Amino acid sequence: MDGARFEPVIIGFTCNWCSYRAADLAGTARLKYPPNISLVRLMCSGRLDPAFVLEAFADGADGVLVTGCWPGDCHYLEQNYHALRRFQLLKRTLAGLGLEAQRLRLVWASAAEGARLAGEFTSFVEEVRDLGPLHWGAGGSISAGLRAAAPAEVAGRVEAAIAVTITDAVTDEVMA
Amino acid sequence: MTAAARPRFAMYWGAACGGCDIAVLNLNEKLLDVAARFEIAFWPAVVDVKYADLEAMPDGSILLALFSGAIRNSENEEIARLLRRKSQLLVAFGACATEGGIPGLANLSSPAEIYSAAYDDGLSTLNPDGVRPVTRVTVPEGELRLPAFQRLVRTLDQVVPVDYFVPGCPPETARIAEIMDVVGAVLDGRAELPPPGSVLGAGASTVCDECTRERHEKRLASFVRLQSIAHLDPNLCLLEQGIPCNGPATRSGCGALCPSAGAQCIGCYGSADGAGAQGARLLSAFASIVDAREPLDIDRALAGIADPVGQFYRFGLAASPLRGGRKGVAGSSDGETTTASEASESGARRELVAGAAR
């Protein structure tokens, strides 16, 4: 990869009432976290259809972060428990499909935990960076939607990295 | 009515088991109506018409073509394209053509793994020279060619435009009879064609809506496998008894045959709403009814779903957003067209060497 650092594309789902506020607080406090993560605001983690996660990976995401209110603190009382149940089953399903467990993470964060959430964003980006590109999307490219969501420099480096590793993969297969 | 005046009918099997052809043949005496109405132009399971004969037919000269089976190799793809050209109405017929079906589960493995399983690792397989099928081989009579194996199993509409979809593994014969009645009515000018892209021979709801078992609000302590239950309540919803039944996200049309017989729905009629959506919907539905709050308790309750991928994507993997497992999909330069004939090249060399040694 010509020594260029791999820039993962990460999609983060946030809850309107706590984790999105926490991310906002991190911004207000001028805390820094890597630009690789693109946040999608939902009204509640319970709104997270597992299809959103599958489609993020299919469209070229290297990692998906799901966030929500702490258990017991849900604005809609019980919905983050539903999110947790779906997350547990989704994790097993994705493992069955061959995904590394580290590419999908669940984080609870209250509206006051801006600094903690920024730290989670950073550690998640670094962990996925270490794992390398996923390239699950058909054609091994990231979709137009994700390219628009990711900062230009990240998207550009991702595409360059994809071009290199795909050549490797095909050659490996022929040699095998 | 002369033979030349009758509209032409075709049916084909791609990567299929032949069950769809049997389901059509099960029309019994109604099949005579089909034969009277149509000239059977091409139907490998039933009449001997060669590919060259099909090729020689004018484009668009077949009125109705039913394509069963998924697209696994270059032959499936070639005939899909040929039938598309020759037919006015191309129908994806059965679970494999509509959503990949059972053959689509091969997308969990890489082509190399599939070849190893088929030609090396089987308990009854003896293949010391590592012989692999090759796409070309020269014999004294000339060159023989075999279809190339493709990296991914695809649905018919991932390869060519499709006019109608008939789900089911196989489609229920009664539903096929209804479709044939509609076709007859259209030919007689008594009915209009359904809008393009319609799902035919199935309902717009879910298997649960056709199921006669009693239903209540669901709270589950844990999932269990059907074979580990000693006494099954004959009247109660299977899901409420802890059995992972795919009824909640599976399209209606079968009349809830499996649940009526005391077996869980395995989801063969595919997504109730939109191709590929079935897996995520089932995942959501099953997880949501678990009565546990701690991750470990949740995992314990869900452990009865022994194989989540097989449970949620038994018939729809090839049509799902991910289209397969990582080993099958990731790393491919082009999931659509990359063939895995490379996987057989080394085998081909070995075979030629072995032939020379003889």
Reduced to 3 states (helix: H, G, I; strand: E, B; else coil), residue A175 is helix
- Give the closest-approach CA distance of A98 to chain B in angstroms: 5
Q: Where are the alpha helices (DSSP H) in A2-78?
A: 19-28, 50-58
A139 CB neighbours in chain B (<8 A) are 332-336
- Give the closest-approach CA distance of A30 to chain B in angstroms: 34
End-to-end Cα separation, chain A, in angstroms: 22
Which tokens go with B279? 């897996």
For chain B, counts of helices (H) and of strands (E): 14, 9
Average confidence score pLDDT of chain B: 89
User: Per the CB < 8 Å rule, is B302 touching A89?
Assistant: yes
Which tokens go with A138? 């058909």
Q: Residues B104-128: what's their mean pLDDT?
A: 93
Please, what's the largest Cα pairwise distance for chain B?
A: 73
The one-letter amino acid at A57: F
- List, as one string, the DSSP characters of B135-198: SEEEETTEEEE-PPEEEEEE-GGGTS--SEEE-SSSPPHHHHHHHHHHHHHHHTTSSPPPPTT-
pLDDT at B328: 84
- B15: β partners: B70
Is B334 a residue whose pLDDT tops 80? no
- Give the closest-approach CA distance of A25 to chain B in angstroms: 29
Q: Residues B50-77: what's their mean pLDDT?
A: 97
Domains by residue range for chain B, with CATH: 3-100+155-187 (3.40.50.700), 104-150+331-357 (no CATH), 207-324 (no CATH)
Domains by residue range for chain A, with CATH: 10-175 (3.40.50)
User: Per the CB < 8 Å rule, is A176 touching B343?
Assistant: yes
Evaluate whether B331 touches A169 at the Cβ level (below 8 Å): yes
User: Per the CB < 8 Å rule, is B280 touching A98?
Assistant: no
Which tokens go with A64? 């998906």
Q: Residues B151-159: what's their mean pLDDT?
A: 95
DSSP B312: H
Is A150 a residue whose pLDDT tops 90? no
Give the pLDDT confidence of B81-112 residue by residue, as tens digits.
999 999 999 999 999 999 999 999 999 999 99
Evaluate whether B169 touches B349 at the Cβ level (below 8 Å): no
Say which residue the tokens 């997270």 belong to. Answer: A48
Listed as own residue / partner, the contacts of A159-163 with beta carbons closer than 8 Å and 24 or more positions apart are A160/A1, A160/A4, A161/A1, A161/A4, A161/A6, A161/A7, A161/A133, A162/A133, A162/A135
Give the pLDDT confidence of A82-113 residue by residue, as tens digits.
999 999 999 999 999 999 999 999 999 999 99
From chain A residues 48-77, the ones with a CB under 8 A of any chain B CB are 49-51, 54-55, 57-58, 71
A/B interface, count of CB pairs below 8 Å: 119
pLDDT at A158: 52
pLDDT at B326: 86
- Strand B8-13 to strand B149-154: parallel, antiparallel, or no bridges (unpaired)? unpaired
Which tokens go with A61? 């995401």
pLDDT at B152: 93
Give the pLDDT confidence of B204-235 residue by residue, as tens digits.
999 999 999 999 999 999 999 999 988 999 99
pLDDT range class, residue B274, cuts 50, 70, 90: low
How far apart (Å, rounded) are the C-alpha atoms in residues A22 and A110?
6
Measured at the CA of B71, the angle between CA B317 and CA B247, to 5 degrees, comes to 35
pLDDT at A19: 96
Range with lowest mean pLDDT among A115-124, A153-162, B150-159:
A153-162
How far apart (Å, rounded) are the C-alpha atoms in residues B300 and B294?
10
Q: Residues B330-358: what's their mean pLDDT?
A: 39
How far apart (Å, rounded) are the C-alpha atoms in residues B351 and B111?
19
Please, what's the largest Cα pairwise distance for chain A?
A: 56
Is A151 a residue whose pLDDT tops 70? no
Is B251 a residue whose pLDDT tops 50? yes
